Structure 1
């Protein structure tokens, strides 16, 4: 594999299409139109820009890499509607419990899963790395990422 086989397409906010060889990943899908407000408890966020691509324009997605499902700035209404179309959704264990989708897998920190293209045999391992979302001490309030 060389760098020419890796392509990143910025869609907006936390949403990026990552193409590695024949595999296609999507981070934190946010596809709502501009103008919406998202109350995240401690603030209200206002979406100022639409996504650069619509879900219909994306094509097949091998795996959604969902950092967390419980804030609309990382998984908005249309992003949530998109999840069943992906072959797999990889997220936190608590996120998988909340989503209750058959294609969703909850990962604990440092757990890895293969994402592969059956036609080519190409494989990438996705590993859940622990992260802190916000200042130290807010973890019980903000939840897993």
Structure 2
């Protein structure tokens, strides 16, 4: 952690890196791209990173299409990659169990769609962890 002493939000990086599945590099990228900002709600977090649904409204028809992919591409890519690591290194967390129940039995396309949904939930859970110290349910910390 030589270079983190000068990083303005080094304490957030250190806190985030205490979670299993989150390495120091991943934590640094997420804090630099996303968690150094202040967000009012979880929806603002998902929207900023580009993992929120894109609404479609026409007359009486209203539905969500796909994610809108606005915001920082690096943070979005990092969260999707972290979601795969989360499944591997945090298998008993509530988020992992939810993903396996909802998307585990689907084909590869279904699992890829599900991993983006997990990345969104993970972005919000990590934001709560960084800002309020709320450990995601069932997640383990590094020893």
TM normalised by structure 1 equals: 0.25
Whose helix fraction is larger, Structure 1's or Structure 2's? 2
Whose strand fraction is larger, Structure 1's or Structure 2's? 1
Q: Which has the higher contact order (CA 8 A, sep 6+)?
A: 2
TM normalised by structure 2 equals: 0.25
